[in-house]
Amino acid sequence: MIPAAQGLAATKLRPPALPVELVQRPRLDALLDAGVGGQVRLVLLSAPAGSGKSTVLASWLARRPGAHAWLQVETSDSDPARFWTYLVQALSAALPDLSPLLAAAVASSAGDEVMAVTAVVNALAALEQPLVVVVDDYHLIETEAVHRGVERLVELSPAGVTLVVATRSDPPLRLGRLRVRRQLLELRSDDLRFSADEAPALLGPAAALLDDAGREALHERTEGWAAGLVLAGMSLTRAADVDAFVEAFAGDDSLVVEYLRDEYLAALTASDRERLLETSVLEQLTGTLVDAVTGTAGGAAWLRATSEHNQLLLGLDSNGTWFRYHHLLRDLLRLEAQQVLGERMPLLHARAATWFEAEGDRGRALVHRLAAGEDDAAAHLLRGQGPRLLALGQIETLRGLLDQLGDRSSTTAWGALLYAWVEFFAGRHTQSDRWLDVLADVSPVGTDPAPATAVRMNNAFARGDLRTALGHARQTSGRLPQNSCTVAAVTGVIHTWAGQHEEAREALRLAVTKAVNERVPTVHLMALVHLAVVELDAGSAASAHAAASAAVAAAEGYGLTTFHGVAPAYAIRGRTTSDRVQSRADAEHAVTTALRASTPIALGFVLATCGDTFLDLDEPRGEELLAQARLVLEALADPGIAGRHLSRAAARHGLTGHVTPRAAGRVEQLTDREAAVLQYLPTAMSQRDIAAQLFVSLNTVKTHCKAVYRKLGASDRKAAVQAARDLRLL
């Protein structure tokens, strides 16, 4: 048995049920068949509401052999992670052999259009049969990132995969280019209009009430608009004067709301009208949900009976369990409900929320609690749903829910922590730290600091502040077995770039195990990537090559080869292989991927490593990459081991005379004052700032710095920092 909440989600992934009196439209079927059978990559059905787009596609697919996937878009699907997750679920429903890892990879991408689409395209590349992918109601998508991803999907999908988009308005895709390439099939209002021969079938039994002249006149007044013909057919049977009805009927979409209100709703019984208005708060309907919201019984029978004579109540499954209102009718009902039901609206939403909670669908329950104005109950739900939304990469959805709750989320510990993660993923690290300050202020005494510490580590490292990140990492090291895979991985990453190999290996190996158990692909992958970095920095090319190869294999398995975090693994594999072809390909891929979104330290490392590789391959661009790496790393007060790898690469190719070696042991003990100065060297403070902090003169600090550099065998400040870290002085 499928739980009700899962059944509701499944209605997004299949075409609507076909009307009992389906009008066959071979003319449109032939057009669609020709498009899919040729070189067309995108089929666009762009027409106003009520034009019959969904029915045309559903009836075509029902007749057509072969695999197809269907996604019914909702307003909330504008969140990129949510859109791509649902599209993958639609593909999985159509293709049972599709890798189960694909959904995890897409969710882990947080909706990134390059990562998500690459994963989808790679999965589709193995198809041996044609596939039609339908996205219905695409006009509800308002996010530019989703549009970019869909355009990329159209461009990169393998032959045999056709995307079909049904929308009320043209999407912001580069349609002109597809037209020039003859890769676009367009069906518009004129194509979808019912011909004079087709129109009587859409009128249903009411067509028998009209003579040929009446049918022709009604077709002319509706201009073949499907919704207008359906509405006319519903009303004709109640008309006292058929000829007068035809003469007065306004069958265009500009007047449909007035018509529905004045003619359709007015003709209903009081109980039917009330039930329609009350259930308009729902996106989709099933019998027990209707009963719960309206406080009546017999909802399932009422839905089936209503759908038999009202084609604006659409079936969503083959057994008559789930339904939805046509958007035209739904919009009217909601407008009318606001005026008629007024103060009862919150109660209806509250009842819907209770039903969804009982069915285990806390996401929809949360939406209804908010609509009911029950902010405390909504906050309770969001506290549990928030981490799940983060794990699914639905960052914008989470931000919107937090904002709706206002003080109930912004003044609580759980809300502040969620906001901190949201801002981190958005790249606003200063704002993220501010939320962590709020978290510290509102957290009860004895609260586990690890979740907040994980965010602080990420923020500091993303800014290139390795010193601060390392301080946080050391705080978590002793408690890693009790914490999540994310905390373990971030701790390992920080120790990796600080050159502390044993601490890094311990944390990263633990993260690998935890990530597999917790099913978090990106964390698993990041831990494997950084194990390769550790081995390279430790000086074992063979171990580094094996670790990098394992990380790349995992990335390929997850469909995350374009994830910027995997770039160091490709750089290391290319650096440590004897195969010149693979070496060049890996270096190219590493640079392209890293430039997309890497942290400064990781980017500097990749550029330096790949620059070294290209110079070994006698390619001059290697010197340019080393120069780029220097620009990136010189902007950081403390680039960690990335600075050392840059110095080694430059020295190997005669670009500088200095090499920053790994410190083997102290030559001479630092004095207390020298050790005090050393503690400030990983920061962005100038020597003048350090002097002020220590209440000494600038010349004194300069003298101490020279002594520190000499004793550590370093020629500059950054090299001294890493040498001191190697010797455990920092």
β-pairing, 323-325 vs 131-136, is: unpaired
Is residue 438 very low, low, confident or very high in pLDDT (cuts 50, 70, 90)? Answer: very high
Across the chain, how many H-helices and E-strands are there? 41, 7
Q: Is 76 within 8 Å of 82 (Cβ atoms)? A: yes
* Per-residue pLDDT tens digits for 233-263: 777 767 767 777 777 765 554 456 666 676 6
Mean pLDDT computed over 451-467: 88
Q: Is 316 within 8 Å of 14 (Cβ atoms)? A: yes
d(CA 313, CA 330): 9
H, E, C per residue of 348-400: HHHHHHHHHHHCCCHHHHHHHHHHHCCHHHHHHHHHHHHHHHHHCCCHHHHHH
pLDDT of residue 658: 44
Residue with the larger pLDDT of the pair 277 and 206: 277
Residue with the larger pLDDT of the pair 328 and 172: 172
* pLDDT above 90 as % of the chain: 35
pLDDT of residue 263: 64
Q: Is the pLDDT of residue 219 over 90?
A: no
- Rounded to 10 degrees, the C-alpha dihedral 495/499/501/506 comes to 10
Assign 45 to helix, strand or coil: strand
Q: Is the pLDDT of residue 394 over 60?
A: yes
Q: The whole model's pTM is what?
A: 0.73
The residues pairing with 67 across neighbouring beta strands, listed in sequence order, are 131
* Per-residue pLDDT tens digits for 6-42: 445 677 888 888 877 777 888 888 889 888 877 789 9
What are the structure tokens assigned to 205, written together?
A: 């039994």
* Per-residue pLDDT tens digits for 322-377: 998 877 778 778 888 988 898 899 999 999 999 999 998 998 999 999 999 999 99
d(CA 194, CA 24): 11
Q: Is the pLDDT of residue 661 over 80?
A: no
pLDDT of residue 95: 84
* Per-residue pLDDT tens digits for 95-108: 877 766 677 777 77
The residues pairing with 137 across neighbouring beta strands, listed in sequence order, are none
Mean pLDDT computed over 630-634: 88
Q: Is 427 exposed, middle or buried (0-12, 13-18, 19+ CB in 10 A)?
A: exposed
- Complete DSSP assignment for 284-328: SB-HHHHHHHHT-S-HHHHHHHHHHH-TTEEE-STTS--EEE-HH
Mean pLDDT computed over 611-623: 92
Question: Within the chain, what is the greatest distance between any pair of CA atoms?
Answer: 109
Is residue 150 very low, low, confident or very high in pLDDT (cuts 50, 70, 90)? Answer: very high
β-pairing, 184-188 vs 313-315, is: unpaired
Mean pLDDT computed over 184-198: 83
The residues pairing with 237 across neighbouring beta strands, listed in sequence order, are none
pLDDT of residue 258: 66
List the domains of the chain with CATH numbers: 24-192 (3.40.50.300), 199-373 (no CATH), 389-447 (no CATH), 461-652 (1.25.40.10), 672-726 (1.10.10.10)
pLDDT of residue 309: 73
First to last CA, the chain: 59
Q: Nearest Cα to 165, choosing from 179, 182, 191, 184?
A: 184
Q: Is the pLDDT of residue 49 over 90?
A: no
Q: Is the pLDDT of residue 388 over 80?
A: yes
pLDDT of residue 116: 84
Q: Is the pLDDT of residue 206 over 90?
A: no
The residues pairing with 568 across neighbouring beta strands, listed in sequence order, are none
d(CA 461, CA 284): 45
Q: Is the pLDDT of residue 651 over 70?
A: yes
d(CA 434, CA 233): 61
d(CA 166, CA 171): 10
* Per-residue pLDDT tens digits for 567-609: 999 999 999 999 999 999 999 999 988 987 678 899 999 999 9
